[in-house]
Amino acid sequence: MRHYTIEEVKSWDRFYRGNFINSISGFKSVSLIGTVDADNNPNLAVFSNIVHLGADPALIGFINRPREATPHTLANIENTHCYTINHIHEEFVERAHQTSAKYGSGESEFEKTGLTPLWTEDCKAPYVKESKVRYSLELQEIIPLKKNNTFLVVGAIKNIYVPTVAVQTDGFVDLQNVGSLASLGLDGYYKTTLVSRFSYAKPDQQPRHLGS
Ligand SMILES: Cc1cc2nc3c(=O)[nH]c(=O)nc-3n(C[C@H](O)[C@H](O)[C@H](O)COP(=O)(O)O)c2cc1C
């Protein structure tokens, strides 16, 4: 075990430091966020700082980096108030990663990567057809985080598409079953393996294993 102080970490090269600090918070979800601009031009970008904020109302947050670094998704959501979140699977992980390239505002990452936009009546923004778990959101608020010029974008879930085989009798969605990937750091993508599910924990009682 090695002890690092933040003073030491700050002295490192920025890419090394970025990889190190980005990994330390642990495994994360990773998805493609689909949006449209005011002229209905589609945009797609990979995001991994996506977090469940509450089940009722069903709220999801994601962190958007400073506007200069990641401008299109944020501007499109500000304009249209709606967006889709689409899980990533091994079959198209390379194309999903490529959406993080800095394409111009007129360029569609769908066209550039060969991923297929799926247009529906329920949301202005396209879903990703190749994705097996997709949902759409309506913007609730954008909270600027002063310390590092990032934004917490809060959305309410409006529509969800999930294969029924993945939904268990108690509502648990078995994402391993549909091969949704997880991420680590800035560029690592992982398949998952369930260790166990447990019953609701109560003081001084051993939790029961629900599955493994
Ligand atoms: C694995 C991975 C995860 C990423 N996660 C985020 C994220 O959570 N927030 C963010 O602002 N950018 C994230 N990015 C960077 C964006 O994908 C990238 O800046 C992209 O060009 C944004 O496109 P846009 O300007 O069309 O929104 C991530 C990139 C990769 C490769």
Residue 143, domain CATH: 2.30.110.10
Residue 17 has pLDDT above 50, yes or no: yes
The answer to whether residue 210 is domain-embedded is no
The answer to whether residue 3 is domain-embedded is no
The answer to whether residue 199 is domain-embedded is no
The answer to whether residue 209 is domain-embedded is no
| The dihedral sign for the CA sequence 186, 134, 92, 111 | negative
In this predicted structure, what is the pLDDT of residue 62? Answer: 98
Residues in the chain: 212
In this predicted structure, what is the pLDDT of residue 197? Answer: 95
The answer to whether residue 203 is domain-embedded is no
Q: Dihedrals φ, ψ of 152, to 5°? A: -95, 115
CA of 100 to the centre of ligand 1 (A): 5
Structural domains counted in the chain: 1
The answer to whether residue 1 is domain-embedded is no
Pocket flag, ligand 1, residue 151 (CB < 6 Å):
no
Tens digit of each residue's pLDDT (9 = 90 or more) over 102-123: 999 889 999 999 999 999 999 9
Q: Dihedrals φ, ψ of 19, to 5°? A: -60, -45
| Ligand 1 atom with minimal separation from the 73 CA | 27
The answer to whether residue 2 is domain-embedded is no
For residue 134, what are the contacts with CB-CB under 8 A and spacing of at least 6?
84, 85, 86, 87, 118, 127, 128, 160, 161
Q: Dihedrals φ, ψ of 40, to 5°? A: 65, 20
pTM of the entire structure? 0.97
The answer to whether residue 5 is domain-embedded is no
Tell me the average pLDDT across 186-203.
Answer: 96
Domain membership of residue 32 as a residue range: 12-190
